[in-house]
Amino acid sequence: MKYKYFLFDWDGSLADTLPIWFAGFIKIFANHGIVVTNETIGTEVIGDWGGPERLGISDREKFFVELETEVLDKLNSVKLNPGVFELLNQIKKNGGKIGVVTASRKKWVKEALRANGLRDMVDVFLGKEDVEYVKPDPEGILKALRLMRGKSEMAIMVGDNEKDVVAGRRAGVDTGLYFPKRYKEFYDERKQMNLRATYVIEDFYEMEKFV
C-alpha cells in the first residue's frame, strides 16, 4: 500500500451531499432576504460556520436550525459518490485505516454512514464537536492520526475543497482533491486546480492504485 491511513472529508467527498447543501443554503439565505450564488457558498460558507454571519445573518444558531430542518432528511438518505464503497472496502481488506474528518455536526452524518454500510469500516469519525477548530485548521486530521496511531508520511487527506487541502498540507500529509467534472457547478475550476493538491481525483476508482 502506498498509504496506510486514509482520511476523508464527508460532504461532497465520500457522500454526494453538495446538491443538498447548496440548495439548502440558497433557500435559507433567501428566507432571510439574502441572495447567494453557488460560488459564494463554495468559497464563503461550506465548512465555515462563520460564513452566514459575514454574509449578513445576525442569528447564526437560528440560521443553522432552519438549515438543519431543511436538509436533515435528505442527508440521512444521501448516497455515496461513485467508487467510494469499493475503495473503502479494499482499504480495509488490505489492512489500512480509515478516518472521516468533517466540519459538519456528527448527527448530520452518522445515519448516512450506517445506511451506506460504512459504520464498521470507519476507524475514526470526527465532527465539529470533536475539535476546537475545524478545517482548514489541521487539528482534526492530527487528532485522527493520533487516535489511529498513524504516521503523517503514511497518510493522505482527501476532500473536495480548499479547506480540506490546506488542512492536509498543514498536517504534513499528502492531499487528494476530489473534483469530478460535475463539480464545476459548485466550484471554480481554476481555483480548485490552483490548490495544488498532491492528486486531483475525478473518480474514487482512481485511488485503488494507492491501496
CATH number of the domain residue 68 falls in: 1.10.150
Q: What is the pLDDT of residue 6?
A: 98
Domain count, the chain: 2
What confidence category does residue 185 fall into, taking pLDDT thresholds of 50, 70 and 90? very high
**pLDDT tens-digit map of 122-132:** 999 999 999 99
* pLDDT tens-digit readout, 24-34: 999 999 999 99
**Domain residues for 22?**
18-76
Residues 47 and 122 grouped into a single domain: no
Q: Give the tens place of pLDDT for each residue, 60-95.
A: 999 999 999 999 999 999 999 999 999 999 999 999
Q: State how far the Cα of 211 lies from the Cα of 199, in Å rounded to an integer.
A: 15
What is the per-residue pLDDT for 138? 98
- Check whether the bond before 82 is cis (ω within 30° of 0): no
In the chain, count of helices (H) and strands (E)?
9, 6
pTM for this structure? 0.96
Mean pLDDT of 101-112: 97
Domain boundary among 61, 76, 91: 76
Which of the listed residues 76, 95, 119 is the one where a domain comes to its end? 76
128 and 142 together in one domain? yes
pLDDT score of 191 more than 90: yes
Same domain, yes or no: 160 and 98: yes
Q: What mean pLDDT is predicted for residues 98-105?
A: 98
3-state SS of the chain: helix, strand, coil percent to 5? 50, 15, 35
Among the candidates 76, 102, 124, a domain finishes at 76
Q: Closest Cα to residue 122, out of 139, 147, 104, 103? A: 147
Amino acid 1: pLDDT: 86
